[in-house]
Amino acid sequence: MSHIATSTFFRCVAIACLAITSTVNAAPAVPKWSLLPRPATASPAGSGAAEIADGAVVSVRGAERQQVQSMAERFVQRVADTNGLHLRVATTGASHSAITFDVNPSADIADEAGYRITVDNGGILVSARTPRGAFYGSVTLWQLLTPPGWTRGAPVEVADGVIDDRPRFAWRALLLDSGRHYQSVADIKKLIDWMSLHKLNVLLWHLTEDQGWRLEIPKYPDLTKIGACRKAMGLDSELTGSADLPYCGFYTEAEARDIVRYAAERYVDVVPEIDLPGHSQAAIAAYPWLGVTGKRPSVWTDWGVSPWLLKPDEKTLQFVDDVLDEVMRVFPSRYISIGGDEADKQQWNASPEVRAQMHKLGLANMDQLQGWFTNQVAAHLIKHARTPVGWDDELVAGATLPASEVVMSWHGNDNERVALAAIKQGHDVVMTPQESLYFDHYQSALPDEWPGPPPAATLRQAYDTVVIPNGASAIEAQRIIGVQGGLWTEQMPTFAHDQHAVFPRIAALSELGWSPSSAHDWNGFLQRMPAELARYRALGIDYADSAFAPTFHVTATANGAFQIELSNQLAFGTIRYTTDGSDPTKQSAPYAQPLTLPGSATLRAATFAPDGFELAASRTQVLNETTLLSRESSALATCSSQPGTRLDGSRPAQGPRPVYSVDIGNTCWLWSQAPMDGITHVEMTVERMTWRFGDEAADAVVHHKASAAGEFEIHADSCTGPLLASLPLESAVQANGQIHLDAKVATPAGAGVRNLCVFATGDPRDGQWALARMAFSK
């Protein structure tokens, strides 16, 4: 480590010292800090920098030595893994440390989770009152050692200055849904590690669902023996290896404890969620007496809101107390979530027994009965000095929640109003609005965007989340204790999906949760993204480049050539392109204005940061006579004008897994202004998806079938306009994966440019057709 310009005190610790001396003479530019989340205050000195090179010594002093020493060792390992620099933790107090961690409970640091980093000619000092604060300081220091454009293994200069930092909110959370699809313990640990590098401190672990009960409860073994397995439906069978093998998985008590311990080392609290009284079909499948009807349902294979609710009686309450006793044994967290969302009351309403109980309790309706049930459950937690957490649904319905319950406010566009109502009732509130912080929602309109429900929740929307509801007074605002992203996993069968959904939107969440409101600055955030994405790459995170990826807008020119406009979602970075089929590099031509290319060409484009970092991998647009005559489903509107859901198709033997844009329950697309002159044939690539969409079943649109197996039909002008082509599905209904259909087209009278309506006949609930691509030819 060496201190440039102002000191050479540490020069000879590192081999690189000679090179440093020459940079001193050249008066190098002071490197810039690129920190995410942005610290509360960051004051660069304006000149001078410390250099950290291979062999630099890290020492630990002050209180809680052992804990801080382990943290420092993990810091050194992270620097080695990502940056390639090999630092060395001193075993005894070293006099010539490049980096010092100092924990002093009476240090002048504003917050117990806060820290101060001082970079000057004495080296780099990270001070904190607690090991937690020192850990957050170590994360910032790791970012200082991975600045924009770092070269693996090369010494890093850290500009002199002082960073004084502390969190804005106490609750900085990511929800992980292990019910719909579960994740391995190893993958959950990775996620926790990466959360902690965003200074998040709560993993809201959603452990029970209609589709699977995932936590071992020794007193009720059938919860996991029966409730952790569902029949493999749709893509589940890819995960199990066969449609005959059920999709099963749960966490043993030992595994859950291991995750809690691992998280605690990274200052992440695991807050378990046992969702009650809805989302309980798997529990009722295990113990039918928990339900209202006495019948045993299967563990659900659909997505959506199941009608199977727990029966709100004494026996169920005893079961819940027993489950929570085990949960409290395994999870030391002060907070425990008891859910409370989406409790569809149809079974309660239909049950004379439940209605009688409601009347006996003097309650006016079933929402009040849910409120009563929740209060009973919460009382058990409160008796054991735990704080209940739950969703805002019952507040929306007008019921009263337990006074001490923390409310997670997710209700869409209503979020601010509901959150404000919760505050006014005296609740602490966590903001987790569905429209911007539910990371299951897809994040772009790219043709290759991964699955998720509509509408899109972009990186920008995540960053712009309103965290203090409009209309809240300064006192009321203090009731907002934090923010939470939601990783709901209906469409996330693998950890690769999870990573694509979470990263980089978690960076926006991180800044919302940690940085002061005065630091909120979209442009500044964007400038800091390249270094952040480079860190993701170094950590091995499969992040989404959706917000930066180039898109192509192609139109025909009069002379048979094409005009192409390139852009990306954020209008950020430089798009560079090639036309010779090669992958663009940071030296390739920068896109500045619409391109004109001949009738046959291959255009490839990628996006680069100013330092040359590739922000988005290359995308390809082939230009030939079929370009304007073909469309993927993501480029078509749905007939309901609602944005489509993105669904994974089955994995082909070769090539990437397809993703479709589908209006679930209404198998119908619109192609506006299709060029129909001279068209004689059409080809379609389609796949039949397993129907597992409970919420959409009631509104399914059934088109009349002209043959037993049904067909795709293409109509001109409207969905009841002239029939241009009919593509029978007879050969397709039994097929697995994508199939290709083709047919002659009855060119419409007068041809020209026409609006087209394309739909599959039959009932989508028997299997919903998805459209990959349609292509006309002459």
Residue 538's contacts (CB-CB under 8 Å, 6 or more residues apart) are 81, 82, 83, 146
Type of residue numbered 756 = L
Nearer to ligand ACM, 391 or 442 (CB): 391
Return residues touching ligand ACM (CB under 6 A).
341-342, 391, 410
Nearer to ligand ACM, 342 or 344 (CB): 342
Nearer to ligand ACM, 342 or 435 (CB): 342
- DSSP labels for 446-472? -TTPPPB-SS---HHHHHT---S-TT-
585 contacts 576 by C-beta, under 8 angstroms? yes
- Burial group, residue 187, by CB count within 10 angstroms (0-12, 13-18, 19+): middle
Nearer to ligand ACM, 10 or 439 (CB): 439
What is d(CA 468, CA 470) in angstroms, rounded to the nearest whole number? 6
**Side-chain half-sphere CA neighbours of 255 within 13 A:** 16
Query: What is the smallest separation between the CB atom of 509 and ligand ACM, expressed in angstroms?
Result: 16
Nearer to ligand ACM, 391 or 660 (CB): 391
Nearer to ligand ACM, 304 or 447 (CB): 304
Q: Phi/psi at 201 (nearest 5 deg)?
A: -135, 5
Count of beta carbons in the 10 Å neighbourhood of residue 607: 26
Run of H or E including 58: strand 57-62
Nearer to ligand ACM, 11 or 206 (CB): 206
What is d(CA 84, CA 75) in angstroms, rounded to the nearest whole number? 12
What is d(CA 1, CA 213) in angstroms, rounded to the nearest whole number? 52
Q: Angle CA(266)–CA(173)–CA(144) in degrees, nearest 5?
A: 55
Nearer to ligand ACM, 342 or 476 (CB): 342
Query: What is the smallest separation between the CB atom of 494 and ligand ACM, expressed in angstroms?
Result: 21
What is d(CA 269, CA 271) in angstroms, rounded to the nearest whole number? 6
Pairing of strands 668-675, 753-760: antiparallel
Query: What is the smallest separation between the CB atom of 571 and ligand ACM, expressed in angstroms?
Result: 32
Tokens 């007193």 belong to which residue?
219
- Closest of 446, 533, 435, 443 to residue 491, by C-alpha: 443
Tokens of 334: 């002060």
Nearer to ligand ACM, 467 or 771 (CB): 467
Whether the bond into 584 is cis, omega within 30 of 0? no
Nearer to ligand ACM, 120 or 342 (CB): 342
Count of beta carbons in the 10 Å neighbourhood of residue 202: 25
Identify the sign of the CA torsion 358, 360, 363, 365: positive
Query: What is the smallest separation between the CB atom of 392 and ligand ACM, expressed in angstroms?
Result: 8
Residue closest to ligand ACM when measured from CB atoms: 341
Query: What is the smallest separation between the CB atom of 279 and ligand ACM, expressed in angstroms?
Result: 8
Query: What is the smallest separation between the CB atom of 342 and ligand ACM, expressed in angstroms?
Result: 5
Query: What is the smallest separation between the CB atom of 471 and ligand ACM, expressed in angstroms?
Result: 23
- DSSP labels for 255-291? HHHHHHHHHHHTT-EEEEEEEESSS-HHHHHH-GGGB
Query: What is the smallest separation between the CB atom of 164 and ligand ACM, expressed in angstroms?
Result: 36
What is d(CA 674, CA 628) in angstroms, rounded to the nearest whole number? 8
Nearer to ligand ACM, 273 or 532 (CB): 273
Where residue 641 falls (left for φ over 0; alpha for ψ -120 to 50; beta otherwise) is: left
Helices (H), ranges, 226-350: 236-240, 253-265, 281-286, 314-330, 346-350
Nearer to ligand ACM, 183 or 484 (CB): 484
Type of residue numbered 740 = H
Nearer to ligand ACM, 410 or 660 (CB): 410
Tokens 């378990």 belong to which residue?
272
Nearer to ligand ACM, 205 or 613 (CB): 205
Residue 119's contacts (CB-CB under 8 Å, 6 or more residues apart) are 45, 49, 50, 144, 158, 159, 160, 161, 162
